[in-house]
Amino acid sequence: MLLRLHFFAVEDLSTTVEIKFWSLIKKQESWSVITIKEDSYLSFDVDYKETVSDDFNYLDEHTIIPDPRIFIKSTAKIKVVAQLADKETGRGDVYLVPQVNKIATTFLINLPKAAEKYYQIIHLLPSSNYTANVHINHLIEGKKTIAYNLTLDHKIGSPQNIIVVPSDVHSHSISILSNVDVYITAAVICIDLASTNNFDTKHTITYCDYSAMMVHPTSYFYCKTALNAPGDSRMITSKYTKAISVSPPAIPSCTTSLPLIIYDTTHIVSPAHVDLSPYSALPFQMLPKDYQMGIVSIYDFTPWIRFGGFRDIKNSGRFVNSFIHYVPETSQFITGVIQFITFSPNDNIEVYIRSNDNPADFLLDGRAAMKSLITNTTMPFFRYTWYNFRIEQPGLHTFNSSGRYSIYVIGKNIANQTGAYGYIAGYNKNSLGKHSSTGFSIFLNKQSEVVRLIIHCILVLFSVQLMIINVISKTFDAASICGSGLIGTVGFVIMPLFMSVATVLLTPEYRVCEKSKINKLITVPGTSSLAESSRGARLDRPTNDLSKPRNIQVPKIVQSHNPRRGFYCDETIDWVRFLQLKLCCTVKSV
């Protein structure tokens, strides 16, 4: 089993790196020190048997294992990429190890289904400085099923906690709330690739693949703020993507849902709307051919987990291998030069960049890439273009662009083997600012409700006109106004308003969203700092033999979520702030 750390210097100076872990063989701390020269790269092999134990109870919801943490400290900024692969089968994955300023206290995880007799595994990793108290909510099919508390001992060599999710027919979301910052590593020991065969039920594949990532945190949302334009905007294509899983922020109690705006190849002008429930991630399946998807959240950040791989040549609807990784939002895109590593001939990089950036300015290993190695697709929304670069030779490479972009590295773990890897090469911290929310307005889902709302606006306007006529007819006589004039006002104004509010609030399928022109998106310039550094970063290894079977119930295919179409009244009645009327409603289909 290959367990290798890849170190990239990102500053113009020599860097000393200390690597420390608990040795399972020596029963003591073990450490090594390496030096990385400026603007260079170095790999470091870790003995799998010395750091990983496969002996644990995988039938329990949570259990403890020998300390699996690797602590990495450096004297200057570095980037760290971890590689775990079975040399014989090619199963494995590669993932970026985030630096300490990219961890937090809240996480929500939804992973691809494990194959029969296998499972998902989630490592809860405290830093070496603070013991963490965490609260776990385990939701099955969006319903809170299991809740419990765990203590994560920070001392090196102390047993650490893992959560185990077996293969079954359900969708599982794991919500993690901690009192101090923690790291989370998630893995699927053997992803069920047979379940990707949604488009050809006569043929299935028995091969499975291992996938792992370090999970990006979520945030807290208290319903009092919204993101600055253009909001949390993320995008993906179907070339190497089976599905995405969208995680909501932690929402204490102020609302039961968070609205998302869904753009895709079939909903360009009129995007769809869906609701994101607290503590439950929402999966979206990708169509197999020339399909692109983009999602906007106007309130708070909604991290994505991408489930990808290579499609079967004979049947593009199914996958022959897999990987998982984080998908950033546009304010996290990077600029300038970034280093990355590939492991087999003809691996690939994906680049998402603004459509007005000239591809002739892209530099691959310091030179313009050959056109024969590039394919691209302009996405019909967000004004971004997707580029795929085929990298002929394995090893260290660079990509350079003056534009702001995201970059993913995708390929085979071992040449001539099936197992795949996929990782994001780097990303910045979120730089979108927030502003105070101006309240909430009703989000409508049926065209009939829009018509009804227009009628209500007309009724209110008509009532106001009658009130004015009634007051004027009393020649401004105060006593009269307080008498019959007041009764007329109540009759013509209060009753229509009451009927409007009652009708909308009693409609069972209304949605809540901020009163904002969410269909008009503007890109906001962000920071230009270079991608990822890893001062004080730590790595954990998922701890299971990739070939060892598990006696767990047989899985079934879980059907994907179908986004609903809807309507909203842009600049309509602010119900929560008690009817501060804007009588000229503009109703738009979305």
38-47, 186-195, 269-278, 520-529 — which is least confidently predicted? Answer: 520-529
Q: Report yes or no on 39 lying in a domain.
A: yes
Distance CA 89, CA 549 (A): 15
Residue 74, pLDDT > 60, answer yes
Span 128-149, average pLDDT: 92
Tell me which residue of 292, 291, 226 sits closest to 259, measured CA to CA. 226
Span 74-100, average pLDDT: 95
Burial class (CB in 10 A: 0-12, 13-18, 19+), 260: buried
In this prediction, what percent of the chain has a pLDDT beyond 90? 58
Residue 54, pLDDT > 90, answer no
Domain identity same for 430 and 447: no
Question: Per DSSP, what are the bridge partners of residue 73?
Answer: 18
SS3 state at 402: strand
- Give 554-559 contacts, CB < 8 A, sequence gap 24+: 554/116, 554/167, 555/113, 555/114, 555/115, 555/116, 555/167, 555/168, 555/169, 555/192, 555/195, 556/169, 557/195, 557/198, 558/113, 558/169, 558/170, 558/171, 558/195
384-436: pLDDT as tens digits: 999 999 999 999 999 999 999 999 999 999 999 999 999 999 999 999 999 99
Domain identity same for 358 and 281: yes
- φ/ψ of 450, rounded to 5, equals -65, -45
Q: Report yes or no on 175 lying in a domain.
A: yes
The pairing of strands 232-237 and 225-227 is unpaired
Cβ count within 10 A of residue 230: 19
Distance CA 486, CA 367 (A): 79
Q: Which range has the top average pLDDT, 356-360, 482-486, 528-532?
A: 356-360
Burial class (CB in 10 A: 0-12, 13-18, 19+), 476: exposed
How many residues comprise the chain? Answer: 590
- φ/ψ of 466, rounded to 5, equals -65, -40
Residue 376, pLDDT > 60, answer yes
Q: Report yes or no on 546 lying in a domain.
A: no
Q: Report yes or no on 560 lying in a domain.
A: no
Span 233-245, average pLDDT: 97
Q: Which amino acid is at 38?
A: E
Distance CA 562, CA 581 (A): 34
Domain that holds residue 413: 2-437+524-540
Q: Which is more confidently placed, 340 or 192?
A: 340
Span 503-508, average pLDDT: 40
Which token pair is 274? 């869906």
Span 73-93, average pLDDT: 95
Domain identity same for 398 and 492: no
The chain-wide mean pLDDT, for the chain, equals 79
Count structural domains, the chain.
2
Domain identity same for 532 and 575: no
Distance CA 188, CA 118 (A): 8
- 502: CB partners within 8 A, 6+ apart: none
Domain identity same for 40 and 150: yes
Q: Report yes or no on 559 lying in a domain.
A: no
Domain identity same for 262 and 389: yes
SS3 state at 447: helix
Domain identity same for 448 and 433: no
Beta strands in 24-118 (DSSP E): 28-36, 41-45, 62-65, 69-74, 78-85, 92-97, 104-109
108-138: pLDDT as tens digits: 999 999 998 899 999 999 988 899 999 999 9
Cβ count within 10 A of residue 361: 11
Which token pair is 169? 């027919």
SS3 state at 329: coil
> pLDDT band at 494, cuts 50/70/90?
low
The CA distances from residue 443 to 449, 505, 510, in Å, are 10, 11, 6
Burial class (CB in 10 A: 0-12, 13-18, 19+), 542: buried
Domain identity same for 43 and 161: yes
Domain identity same for 48 and 145: yes
The CA distances from residue 332 to 186, 222, 304, 529, in Å, are 22, 23, 13, 10
Span 67-72, average pLDDT: 96
Q: Report yes or no on 551 lying in a domain.
A: no
Distance CA 42, CA 6 (A): 6
Give the model's pLDDT for residue 202. Answer: 45
Residue 520, pLDDT > 60, answer no
Domain identity same for 409 and 463: no
Q: What is the DSSP string of 412-433?
A: ESSTTS--EEEEE---PPP---
Q: Report yes or no on 556 lying in a domain.
A: no
Domain identity same for 375 and 417: yes
Q: Which helix (H) or strand (E) holds 37?
A: none
- CB 509, CB 273: distance < 8 Å: no
Q: Report yes or no on 478 lying in a domain.
A: yes
71-85, 137-151, 192-206 — which is least confidently predicted? Answer: 192-206
Distance CA 550, CA 168 (A): 13
Which token pair is 89? 């089968």
Domain identity same for 352 and 491: no
